[in-house]
């Protein structure tokens, strides 16, 4: 399909100030989208409240507004600029939520502004928990058993049909903001209250715990002709119970069999079509029971996400650029790959290397913050390392933290096993120390639910470390 000619001016909404859970990845994506749309000859109107980003440089838009990202301000800009379309999927959750509010306030209809990339109904089906659950049911898949609540009182009534621990997920938030895992009634009431307050629609999902299950993500792209490709598979080394932004992740997925991968791939295609994301990238997250191989769908982001940035850098597939071109009418077979300049974007990337992402926390700056990792994201950044093997990429990524973790030599093995049973920033340093002490891998697996394949890789790293201990470079002459 050729480039659309019925629209000339497109508005992009940026992600605003950099905050935990929504960092520079979205500026990176939005900047790429601006460049592409200008290259295609469109007028680009950018609204972003953050002046300290390259996105708001005058070179990246026809007109740039550094203004608050709220309905009254953006409505006034729309009235003044009269854009033909609004592209909401490249500015993180901030842009997606604001586009939703503009639609519900009647602003987009009043000024005849189209939503491109993902329309209002698709955004609602992906972000509103009950609609998402219904959509997944229609295609024969399932989400974790759950119920909805809009108050602590209502949540306590629903608790009679659910069993603790329960995961609380607010609707329309990013990075698990306002959510968490409740293990007892006191924490349940507290997290529900926070979640209802954090959700723009005052709604939380009370979800069956699948803690300990393996977590996988697939980055999916769709065009207007219903061509769908899987850009990248990503595996969370930490099992379910830790937000993916706080997990060490690896691409491509390492422990899936081909049969399991094809099941996730088929499910992803069905999901993006049922939700109705017309064009662009979406991130779909799954939990897989390591004992039964049962699959449940956790959530879907109908936009470019933090994982999209990882997938783009890992594969060389420029998701943001391609998403922008898909939004204005092109199909995947019409867009050349940035690297080869010949291979069309409808070919799924295949990589013969491994990429590992490790989060970076700054708990030393926030001494009163609870350092336990849960479904509410707490990392302030991350690094990404490339290697020929998982072990190489993992060790590069660990070193890139530029962080020395001091071990308590007086701590006993049982004490350290108890410590790694709770996800924390030091979990992997503690695991390595336990392996140095000769702790059985089965005991570490029982404490963490980390896939034994990864623990076997860690064991090999420590074995090599011990063989090299005490040697000098001169020994290899």
pLDDT digits (tens, 9 = 90+) for 411-467: 889 999 999 999 999 999 999 999 999 999 999 999 999 999 999 999 999 999 988
Is the pLDDT confidence value at 28 over 80? no
Please report the pLDDT score of residue 180 as a whole number.
83
From-to residues of CATH 3.30.470.20 in the chain: 214-358
Q: Is the pLDDT of residue 106 over 60?
A: yes
pLDDT at 155: 86
Predicted confidence (pLDDT) per residue in 149-189, tens digit? 888 888 888 887 788 888 888 887 766 678 888 888 888 88
Residue 23 has pLDDT above 60, yes or no: no
Amino acid 271: pLDDT: 95
Taking every pair of C-alpha atoms in the chain, what is the biggest distance, in angstroms? 77
106: tokens are 């009647």
Per-position DSSP letters for 215-247, written without gaps between them = EEEEEEEE-TT--EEEEEEEEESS-TTS-GGGS
Query: Exposed, middle or buried: residue 131 (CB in 10 Å: 0-12, 13-18, 19+)?
Result: middle
Residue 176: its pLDDT value, please?
67
Whether the per-residue pLDDT at 350 is higher than 80: the answer is yes
The residue with tokens 């932004």 is: 245
Provide the pLDDT confidence category of residue 362 given band limits of 50, 70 and 90.
confident
Alpha-carbon gap, residue 290 to 449, rounded angstroms:
9
Q: What is the pLDDT of residue 1?
A: 61
* Half-sphere exposure for 467 (CA within 13 Å, toward CB): 6
The yes-or-no verdict on residue 131 having pLDDT over 80 is yes
pLDDT at 174: 65
Res 386: pLDDT:
95
Q: For residue 276, which phi and psi values (nearest 5 degrees)?
A: 95, 25
Q: Is the pLDDT of residue 214 over 70?
A: yes
Helix (H, G, I), strand (E, B) or coil at 271: helix
CATH class belonging to 214-358: alpha beta
Cβ pair 179, 195 in contact under 8 A: yes
User: How many CA atoms are closer than 13 Å to the CA of 13, on its beta-carbon side?
Assistant: 29
SS3 label, residue 46 = strand
Residue with tokens 């404490």: 447
Of residues 265 and 144, the one with the higher pLDDT is 265
- Split at pLDDT 50, 70, 90, the class of 377 is confident
Q: Where are the beta strands (DSSP E) in 106-237?
A: 114-115, 146-149, 166-170, 180-182, 204-208, 214-222, 228-236
Pairing of strands 43-47, 295-301: unpaired
Return the pLDDT at 449.
94
Q: pLDDT grade, residue 364 (50/70/90)? A: confident
Pairing of strands 9-13, 43-47: parallel
CATH 3.40.50.20 residue spans of the chain = 9-116
**Is there a contact between 149 and 188 (Cβ–Cβ < 8 Å)?**
no
Please determine, looking at this structure, whether the domain spanning 9-116 carries the CATH number 3.40.50.10420: no
Q: How far apart are CA 11 and CA 64, in angstroms?
A: 10
Task: In whole angstroms, give the CA distance from residue 284 to residue 300.
Answer: 4
Name the band, by pLDDT with cuts 50, 70 and 90, for residue 73.
very high
At 353, the pLDDT band (50, 70, 90 cuts) reads very high
Q: Distances in Å between the alpha carbon of 156 and those of 187, 222, 226, 295, 329?
A: 12, 40, 43, 28, 48
Helical axes 24-39 vs 92-104, angle rounded to 10°: 70
Q: Could you tell me what percentage of the chain is helix, strand and coil, using 3-state DSSP and rounding each to the nearest 5?
A: 40, 20, 40
Q: At what angle do helices 306-315 and 24-39 cross, to 10 degrees?
A: 70
The answer, yes or no, to whether residue 259 has pLDDT greater than 90, is yes
Q: How confident is the model at residue 476 (pLDDT cuts 50, 70, 90)?
A: low
pLDDT at 339 > cutoff 80: no
pLDDT at 20: 67
What does the alpha-carbon distance between residue 70 and residue 90 come to, in Å, rounded to a whole number?
A: 17
Residue bearing tokens 């005490």: 470
pLDDT for residue 421: 93
- Average pLDDT of the residues of the chain: 88
> Which is higher by pLDDT, 408 or 398?
398
Confidence of residue 207 (pLDDT cuts 50, 70, 90): confident
**Mean pLDDT across 135-146:** 91
Helix (H) or strand (E) holding 382: strand 381-387
What is the token pair recorded at 101? Answer: 């509010």
**Percent of the chain residues past pLDDT 70, beyond the cut:** 96
Could you tell me the fold of the domain covering 145-208?
Answer: Dna Ligase; domain 1 (3.30.1490)
CA nearest neighbour of 247 among 331, 359, 164: 359
Note whether 261 and 233 are within 8 A (CB). yes
Other Cβ atoms within 10 Å of 185 Cβ, number? 11
Q: How confident is the model at residue 241 (pLDDT cuts 50, 70, 90)?
A: confident
Distance CA 394, CA 248 (A): 9
With contact defined as beta carbons under 8 Å apart, do 182 and 168 qualify?
yes
> Please, are residues 299 and 173 in contact by the beta-carbon 8 Å criterion?
no
Indicate the range of 67-76, 357-366, 399-408, 464-473 predicted with least confidence: 399-408
- Poorest-pLDDT segment among 167-171, 324-328, 400-404: 400-404
Distance between CA atoms of 278 and 126, rounded to whole angstroms?
A: 13
CA 170 to chain CA mean position, Å:
16
């Amino acid at each position: 399909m050729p480039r659309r000619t019925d629209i000339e001016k497109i508005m992009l909404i940026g992600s605003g100030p950099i905050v935990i859970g929504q960092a520079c990845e979205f500026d990176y994506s939005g900047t790429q989208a601006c460049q592409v749309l200008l290259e295609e000859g469109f007028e680009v109107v950018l609204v972003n409240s953050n002046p300290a980003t390259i996105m708001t440089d005058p070179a990246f838009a026809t007109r740039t507004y550094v203004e608050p990202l709220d309905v009254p301000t953006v409505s006034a800009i729309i009235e003044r600029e009269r854009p033909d379309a609004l592209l909401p999927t490249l500015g993180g959750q901030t842009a997606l939520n604001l586009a939703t509010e503009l639609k519900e306030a009647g602003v987009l209809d009043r000024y005849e502004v189209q939503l491109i990339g993902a329309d209002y109904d698709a955004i609602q089906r992906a972000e509103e928990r009950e609609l998402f659950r219904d959509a997944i049911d229609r295609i024969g898949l399932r989400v974790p058993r759950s119920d909805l609540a809009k108050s602590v009182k209502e949540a306590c009534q629903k608790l009679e049909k659910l069993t603790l621990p329960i995961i609380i997920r607010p609707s329309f938030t990013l990075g698990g903001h306002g959510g968490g895992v409740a293990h007892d009634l006191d924490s349940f009431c507290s997290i529900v209250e926070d979640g209802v307050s954090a959700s723009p629609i005052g709604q939380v999902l009370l979800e069956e715990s699948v803690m300990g299950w393996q977590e996988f993500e697939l980055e999916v792209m769709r065009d207007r002709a219903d061509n769908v490709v899987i850009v990248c598979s990503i595996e969370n080394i930490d099992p379910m119970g830790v937000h993916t932004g706080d997990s060490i992740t690896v691409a491509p997925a390492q422990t899936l069999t081909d049969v399991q991968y094809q099941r996730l791939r088929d499910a992803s295609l069905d999901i993006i079509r049922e939700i109705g994301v017309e064009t662009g990238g979406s991130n779909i997250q799954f939990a897989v029971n390591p004992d039964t191989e049962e699959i449940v769908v956790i959530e879907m982001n109908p936009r470019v996400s933090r994982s999209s940035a990882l997938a783009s850098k890992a594969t060389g597939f420029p998701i943001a650029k391609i998403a922008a071109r898909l939004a204005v009418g092109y199909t995947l077979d019409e867009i050349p790959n940035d690297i080869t300049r010949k291979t069309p974007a409808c070919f799924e990337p295949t990589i013969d290397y491994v990429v590992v992402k490790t989060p970076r926390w700054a708990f030393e700056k926030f001494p009163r913050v609870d350092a336990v990792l849960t479904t509410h994201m707490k990392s302030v950044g991350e690094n990404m390392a490339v290697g020929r093997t998982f072990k190489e990429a993992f060790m590069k990524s660990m070193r890139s933290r530029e962080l020395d973790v001091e071990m308590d030599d007086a701590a006993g093995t049982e004490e350290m096993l108890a410590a790694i049973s709770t996800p924390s920033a030091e979990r992997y340093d503690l695991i390595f120390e336990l392996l140095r002490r000769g702790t059985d891998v089965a005991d570490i697996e029982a404490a963490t639910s980390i896939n034994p394949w990864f623990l076997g890789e860690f064991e090999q790293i420590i074995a090599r470390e011990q063989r090299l201990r005490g040697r000098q470079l001169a020994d290899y002459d």
